[in-house]
Structure 1
Amino acid sequence: MTRLRSGIRQLIPPTPLSRRLALQSLLFATGEGTFMTGSAVFFTQVVGLSAAQVGLGLTVAGVVSFLVAYPAGRLVDVLGPKRMWAAGALLGALMFGVWPFMSGFASYLLMVVLFEIVGNAGGAGRGAYILDVMPEAERVGTQAYMYSSLNVGFTLGAIIGGVALAFDNLTVMRWLPLLALAIGLVNAFWIGRLPRASHDLRVAERERGARRENVPGKGPLRNVGWMALSFFSGTLNTNQVLLNVVIPLWLVEETDSPHWLLAWLFGTNTVLCIFLPAYTSRGVRTVDHAIRAVWISSGFFVLSCLITMETHSTTGLLTIFLVWLGHVAVTGAELANSAGNFTFGAMLMDPRRRGEYGGVAEVFGTLGGRWAPAAFTFLALSWSGPGWLVIAAIVVIAALGTGPAAHAAERFIQRELPSGAAGVVTVSDGPHAD
């Protein structure tokens, strides 16, 4: 019983601020998940779009998101992370109030592009704020708890959206975004109640003095290690493509597994991602630890490819078990890689330029992984066994590049940050000059 209570306590964020951030993640994901669950029905049957139009709009929005990622990061450093985050959350919530009144492709395209821009800006502020406001020792753990809360929130949102879908009524679906609006407004209010981070205080001081603050040193576009690390991280994050696209398509097209197994796959992934991040991120506190986590992630990824590949020639219960096991393995890849990414972000960003660093990471991460849905689907479904081996090899190559890139970024940060600068953190296992 004592061990059970201790285990339950480990699932609760340990500090008041980390609990407030975890609750914010829960609110955000609940609102987003409520709308996203029924979005396919909403766009096709309420707005009257074709599937091709929906896909085209999302593609255009993805391109725009890529283009605005770096400017949004720079803007975070100018305006302050909390202000940017709160404004993005508020505008994103208010946009849900416009969805029910959309009609036709033009209005849909405009809204989805604006929604992507607002979400990108808010997300840039969020990432910088968390690293800025939390003490060094709590940064990685707090992000793990927030990750768990996101999964709880998306699950709650899916349940709410599922109830709305169960009515099988287009009027209900038309006005469902208003529920997301209400939750989003609470989320924006909650963000506004959070304390200002150190960068927010510096921005306020600069504005009172009506002077421009020039940050000395070189920015992330001069940090080749950070750009390479972000690219490889984008490739390693393609575990999400395996989880959400390739394995489900493989199950349907290439195995005799029943389609209801898909619900079990996603259910298992959600449960594991709710309860395990606080454990899998524990002890991952330095660059070397993060590199080790990346190798663990790539090992799980390769194992998933090998297991899933075998289901092409199995039948019955064995296929069901192996497909499920392959999905669990790639969930292991997701959890380990997330722990590594949390640490890279906490340790290798210039604390004076976190928004800019986040924008560069978004750009190069997109380059590293946005191609994967088309490429991995083609490799797995067209080449079968050899295709799965190629997918595994791509991830191993990315893992091989991660170590040198991370250490290059580490050396850059050590050179650029002045000794004793505010926000400077220890970035490796061994002794070094701050």
Structure 2
Amino acid sequence: MPLSRVTDVVAGLVPTDPLRRKLIAIRLAESIGKGVFLSGSVVYFTLRVGLDARQVGLGLSAAGLSAFLSSVLFGVIADRVGARRLLVILFATLAVGFGFYSLVDSATAFFALVVTVGFLEYGTGPTNGALIGNLVPAEERVKLKAMMRSVFNIGFSIGIGVAAVAALSQRLLVLIPLTTAALMAGAALLVTRLPDVPPRPAPVGFKRFAAVRDPRFLAVIGVSTILASHVSIILVTMPLWALNRTDLPHFLIPLLLIINTAFVILFQVRASRGADTVHGAGRLARRSGYWLAGGCAVLAVTALDDNVVLASVAIVAAVLILSVAEVMQAASGWGLAFGLAPEHAQGEYLGAFDLHVITQNIIGPAALSGLVIAFGFWGWLGIAVAGLVASALIIPAANRSAVTLVRETASASTT
């Protein structure tokens, strides 16, 4: 891609509207902080705190499991007290929490703090989504989310660089949690500069936690979990496959994530076109499943031949194909989440919809990696078939959920 095109894409991520610029700035501060901490946390807890690999892994897994509760819970709270107010509280509390990491000196303190911080951190997603739902017109939400995701990848990459510098010296390691704490405090300050929109009152008869009690909405989440398999494949399954079942040079494996990150930055906004309605988002989700299946089919080829050139070409091609699936599925997910959420319950429904990514992050790496390592070619084909089945199911599932939403909203209003 020409350099001028790259420059245009990056420049396009800076909106001319002051409100959207503030939202983008908040996302950038948050993403740099997460990049610093997530990329440097294992080094920090191992070398400075003195924990072993098992303790660090167990703590981070426990923090991830807390997301099943916090994502929906904080979404409901955002609908009740106001998304802006809650987001300020969450970012401010996270700043304190990350700051406390610099004082941790035992496994017990680590476990208590990592679960608490993780619980709060997973609440920022639906709260931020509800804030966007309050401040931005419906037809512009998906595009803004796409811009914010590209910005997140840029910020996360910057954060990785900061963490790498901090890891150069034992004395500098403390900058990992402290830098993250400062950035979270900065994000909280930026949120206070946004307009304060009061929460929308719920219609008479509307029940809280309706999102997780609606089987048709849960069906959309379940199908989306399969379509989001690209998350686990790109981050875990494909690197493990390349290391254990191919002769791909090891130095190429980290480059795969760089290719994926650059692709998302450049093409996420373009991929979001047409996903601002339930119908358009459903069609985009269906196409993402086709690309997911295609990427897995290409990876299956590497199980049939040990040629290193073939494996290298196939894996790089698979990264690009799966990256297409990723940007399509992400955009379709925002369109479905916003489109299927009642205006007065944006936080709750967005928090529930986030469960498809949370589930994939927790279950996907072990399940998909175990499948392909054990069954090789047929394992990859099995994931491809699952992607095609999910593609066939997503539009009918979304349409049924949309009908239920209209019917229940009308019923609640009438009551």
Q: TM-score, normalised by structure 2?
A: 0.91
Q: Counterpart of 2:402?
A: 410
Q: SS at the partner of 1:276?
A: helix
The change in CA–CA distance for 1:293 and 1:133 in structure 2 (over 3 A counts) is same
1:81 pairs with one of 80, 83, 107: 83
- Give % identity: 29
User: Partner of 2:350 in structure 1?
Assistant: 358
One-letter amino acid of the counterpart of residue 341, structure 2: M
CA-based RMSD: 2.3
SS in 2 for 1:417: helix
Which of 269, 272, 277 is matched with 1:278 structurally? Answer: 269
Aligned partner (choices 366, 380, 387) of residue 379 of structure 2: 387
Alpha-carbon distance in 2 for matches of 1:194, 1:343: 23
Q: 1:368 to 1:225 in 2, by over 3 A?
A: farther
Match of 2:205 among 200, 216, 227: 216
Cα pair 2:91 2:184 within 8 Å, conserved:
yes
Residue 333 of structure 2 aligns to which amino acid in structure 1? N
Does the CA contact (< 8 Å) of 1:133 and 1:198 recur in 2?
A: no
Deviations 1:255-292 (A, max 9, x none): 11111112321111111111111111122222221111
Identify if the C-alpha distance between structure 1 residues 363 and 38 changes in structure 2 by more than 3 Å, giving closer, same or farther.
closer
Q: Does 1:265 align with 2:256?
A: yes
Corresponding residue number in structure 1 for 2:187: 187
**Residue type of the alignment partner of 2:293:** V
Does the Cα contact within 8 Å between 1:235 and 1:369 map onto a contact in 2?
Answer: no
Show the counterpart of 1:45.
Answer: 47
Structure 1 counterpart of 2:189, one-letter code: F
Offset of 1:403 from its aligned partner?
Answer: 1.4
SS in 1 for 2:310: helix
Distance 2:120 2:343 in 1: 24
> Aligned-pair distance for 1:47?
1.3
Once residues 357 and 164 of structure 2 are traced to their aligned partners in structure 1, the CA distance between those partners, rounded to angstroms, is 32
Conserved? CA contact 1:215–1:352, under 8 Å: no
Superposition deviation, residue 116 in structure 1: 1.1
Matches of 1:176 and 1:297, distance apart in 2: 36
Aligned partners of 1:11 and 1:275 also within 8 Å: no
- The worse-fitting range, judged by mean Cα deviation, of 69-78 and 235-244 is 69-78
* Aligned equivalents of 1:6, 1:360: Cα separation in 2: 35
2:320 to 298, 321, 328: 328
Q: How does 1:286-297 map to 2 (within 5 A)?
A: 286-297=277-288
Question: 3-state SS of the aligned residue for 1:271?
Answer: helix
Paired AA for residue 342 in structure 2? D
User: Which residue of structure 2 aligns with residue 245 of structure 1?
Assistant: 236
Q: Distance in 2 between matches of 1:268 and 1:396?
A: 25
* 2: CA distance, partners of 1:326 / 1:364: 23
1:418 and 1:239 map into 2 onto residues whose CA distance is 37
Q: SS of 2:343's equivalent? A: coil
Whether the 8 Å CA contact 1:83–1:125 is kept in 2: the answer is no
Q: Distance in 1 between the 2:150 and 2:356 partners? A: 26
Specify the code of the residue in structure 2 equivalent to 1:173: L
Verify the 8 A CA contact 1:73 1:124 in the aligned structure 2. Answer: yes
C-alpha distance in 2 between matches for 1:54 and 1:23: 31
Structure 2 residue 218 is the aligned partner of structure 1 residue 227: yes
Instruction: Give how far 1:112 is off.
Output: 0.7
Partner of 2:178: 178
Partner of 2:140: 138
- Cα pair distance change 1:19/1:264, threshold 3 Å: same
Q: Deviations over 1:106-163 (max 9, x none)?
A: 1111011001111122222111111221012211111110011100100110111112
Give distance in 2, aligned partners of 1:364 and 1:257.
Answer: 32
Q: Cα–Cα, structure 1 residues 380 and 47, in superposed 2: closer, same or farther, change >3 Å?
A: same
TM-score, reference length from structure 1: 0.88
Moved more, 397-406 or 47-56: 397-406
Query: 1 CA distance for matches of 2:405 and 2:67?
Result: 27
Aligned mate of 1:115, from 117, 130, 144: 117
Q: Aligned-pair distance for 1:374?
A: 1.1
Give, in angstroms, the shift of residue 345 of structure 1: 1.6
What is residue 92 of structure 2 aligned with on the other side? 90
CA distance in 1: counterparts of 2:364 and 2:38, whole angstroms: 22
Aligned length: 406
Question: Quick check: 151-160 or 74-83, which moved more?
Answer: 74-83
**1:152, 1:274 within 8 Å by CA — same for their partners in 2?**
yes
Cα distance between partner residues in 2 of 1:297 and 1:56:
33
Given candidates 360, 369, 373, the residue that maps to 2:365 is 373
Question: Is the partner of 2:123 in helix, strand or coil?
Answer: helix
- Out of 376, 386, 392, the residue aligned to residue 400 of structure 1 is 392
Equivalent residues of 2:83, 2:128 under 8 A apart: yes
Moved more, 409-418 or 18-27: 409-418
Q: Distance in 1 between matches of 2:389 and 2:323?
A: 20
The residue number in structure 1 matching 2:65 is 63
